[in-house]
Amino acid sequence: MSEADRVPSPAAPPAGAAAAPEEKKGKEPERQKLPPVVTAVGAGRESRGAPTAGLDRGSKGQTSTLSSFVSTVSQKKEATENRSSPIHLVFPNIKNVKDPPPVCLDVRQKQRISTDDAVSSETKAPAPPEPALPIQPKTMKDFQEDVEKAKSSGDWKVVHDFYLTTFDSFPELNAAFKKDATTSLNTIEDSGINAKFVNAVYDALLNTPQDIQKTVLKGIINSLLREWKGPRTKDDLRAYFVLLQNPQFNNTSTYVIYAHLLRQIAALVEADHHFLVHWFKKLSQKRFKQVVERLLQFISLRLFPAKPEEFPPITKCSWWIPSASKVLALLNTANNLVHPPLIPYTDFYNSTLDHIDLMEEYHTWQSFGNSHRFSFCQYPFVISIAAKKIIIQRDSEQQMISIARQSLVDKVSRRQRPDMNMLFLNMKVRRTHLVSDSLDELTRKRADLKKKLKVTFVGEAGLDMGGLTKEWFLLLIRQIFHPDYGMFTYHKDSQCHWFSSFKCDNYSEFRLVGILMGLAVYNSITLDIRFPPCCYKKLLSPPIVPTDQNTPVGICSVTTDDLCQIMPELAHGLSELLSYEGNVEEDFYSTFQVFQEEFGIIKSYNLKPGGDKIPVTNQNRKEYVQLYVDFLLNKSIYKQFAAFYYGFHSVCASNALMLLRPDEVEILVCGSPELDMHALQRSTQYDGYAKTDLTIRYFWDVVLGFPLDLQKKLLHFTTGSDRVPVGGMADLNFKISKNETSTNWLPVAHTCFNQLCLPPYKSKKDLKQKLIIGISNAEGFGLE
């Protein structure tokens, strides 16, 4: 399942409705609380009744009303000379109102929203009639001229009237910003909103006098308190779409209003969420990022408020964070529908979550009995890769301890003397038979795979404190991925390995590679493996091993973009075929049959039954390309990849994998390609040198001046990989030791310990020359 399909299951429509004022003259009518959000239980879980708890893990609290807030805002009048100063609104005491249930979804749910389903359901169900909109003759040019006049004259009445009218209600918002107020514009791809006008109005808003800014907020409050009857219209969705972009919500004093806006958006029905998702993806990168950052800041400040007195108690607004998370999920889905994405997926990370009790979040998510409770694990895209690594490591440690404890209990119950070795996965291998011995050991000790790994090389004295384990990984990976071994094919154009499609009788060695990757994640080892991103997408298809052995695994939807990451030349050729303007059948003379060379023999495969007799034409070429790509990346290597899949999951079978994107699995296995040599300098340890020694100063002057390719070579030379662990350079435990040898010698590295042995070179020129020679010619020298 692609990331774009990970759309949250929207909550049901509001169960209650709020009464809107029937008239504006006279005294202000009493306003009721905003409609609560009803939670939809994930399809992958059993419904345990209506949820009653939110972020506070089950407490029943109260939520704020906006009625008293409206009167407070009305009474506060600031002098117009404070135009450029930020708004600070004071909230009255919150009334006792029953807390609405939070918005929750389960990332494990099997049913995901399909865009096609949303569109079809929208066309089947007649949309509510759009009300007649008020007339708004003001154009963007008119508005900008009014603002310029107000700045020069100091008279803001015209601008004030515009904001007062525009934000007074949802119909007024549509009248102002809808491109054509006379049409319904119910299309999923076009919101019908004049985005440039919206941007101009919001950009000018923060530079207007405070009374104008407060007028806007009062209008939003009135709109949110309106009584809803029946489903929302598309004009209502457009109003939500516009209001969510309001930069005033950066200010914590507006968070009560912001929270109610988010709750109403989160409570929309599934089809309405689809419209918003597709409209969000049409935002500019700048505006999209601003909305995302505003939501992340809202969550962070609710978790760790700088001034707790600014907000209601957490027990009274436990629905704030679930509502914000649900809206973030819609934006995340929109981002994944765009290729390339509007912003990197890492921009959705909320680093604040690194400082909460992640295991409590994980266990809450795991507990079926508490499936209605909110957990950030339900929205894994906001959890950073560093935080996910902590969850996976602690989950792994708990599994290791549990299995080791069970082994100890079994020994004692049989009245056998306990042995410390029983607490570890002990690998005894010969260097001369590394692959076969490793395969035999892992097969025999399959029940011990989740114990802590310890490696012993037969005939060699040494205690494994981590170095031997890393060396075993390095040597084994190097041997298995050697072209002569025939398991993987190295593609020079993409600089990555892919599974050989050669048929064989035993696929156990592919299972071994999967186990190695699983053990690396389990034991926090970074591997020097170059698989394309498609591999990790297949590895999570599905993320949990199916109980039915006949269920296909490792099969995912693939495109020419995936093929381009492995075989760019072939992918380009297929793209040319798709865009060819001539007669495909006559000019290419191809059929739905492909050929592959296996051990010097050319073999043919039909892409569909009778494919050798079906010509490729202009009409069916898309089908041909799709079947060809699917054959190369799925069908031709199914048995190889299935063995690899089962090997990996035999070690890493954990629900924590469901929190990961394919890109994040790659980072956990291979590390991050982002290098920060200044961070490496700060965390480096020294043995025989001090960081102020002349040789060390020469070394860092040279390294920091290296181009990226040489910096990667240095990292590969000293650690066995040119990538950085998830925890950053500090997790490398990089050490520079003094090598008391002739300065004519080259530097030496011990990759098992991430250690560089550096002779005391007398000049920067000499050090640079020797270092470049050493790191550029280390492969095959046996330096470990």
Catalytic residues: 752
Whole-angstrom distance between the N-terminal and C-terminal Cα of the chain? 41
- 594, 604 contact by CB (below 8 A): yes
The CB density around residue 735, as the number of other CB atoms within 10 Å, is 17
Long-range Cβ pairs for the range 396-403 (8 Å, 24+):
396/450, 396/522, 396/654, 399/450, 399/654, 400/450, 400/451, 400/452, 403/448, 403/450, 403/451
Residue 716 CB contacts under 8 Å (≥ 6 apart), including other chains: 528, 722, 775
How many angstroms separate the CA atoms of 187 and 770, rounded? 65
Residue 152 CB contacts under 8 Å (≥ 6 apart), including other chains: none
Token representation of residue 455: 């490696």
Residue 345 backbone dihedrals phi, psi, to 5 degrees: -60, -25
Nearest-10 crossing angle of helices 67-75, 210-224 = 160
Beta-strand runs (E) in 146-286: none
- 783, 722 contact by CB (below 8 A): no
Token representation of residue 396: 């792994």
3 state SS of 729: helix
The length of the chain, given as a count of residues: 784
How many angstroms separate the CA atoms of 397 and 680, rounded? 28
3 state SS of 496: strand
Is residue 662 reached through a cis peptide bond, with omega within 30 degrees of 0 on the bond before it?
A: no
Q: Which residues pair with 168 in a beta bridge?
A: none
Residue 144 CB contacts under 8 Å (≥ 6 apart), including other chains: 200, 204
Residue 132 CB contacts under 8 Å (≥ 6 apart), including other chains: none
Q: Which residues pair with 593 in a beta bridge?
A: 606
3 state SS of 8: coil
How many angstroms separate the CA atoms of 507 and 484, rounded? 17
- 649, 517 contact by CB (below 8 A): no
Residue 673 CB contacts under 8 Å (≥ 6 apart), including other chains: 722, 723, 724
| CA 314 to chain CA centroid, nearest Å | 27
How many angstroms separate the CA atoms of 455 and 466, rounded? 9
- 92, 72 contact by CB (below 8 A): yes
- 271, 246 contact by CB (below 8 A): no
What phi-psi label fits residue 610: left (phi over 0), alpha (psi between -120 and 50 degrees) or beta? left
Name the pairing type of β-strands 593-598 and 496-499.
unpaired
- 439, 512 contact by CB (below 8 A): yes
How many angstroms separate the CA atoms of 384 and 344, rounded? 13
The CB density around residue 430, as the number of other CB atoms within 10 Å, is 13
- 112, 664 contact by CB (below 8 A): no
Residue 733 CB contacts under 8 Å (≥ 6 apart), including other chains: 685, 754
Nearest-10 crossing angle of helices 358-366, 385-413 = 70
How many angstroms separate the CA atoms of 650 and 512, rounded? 10
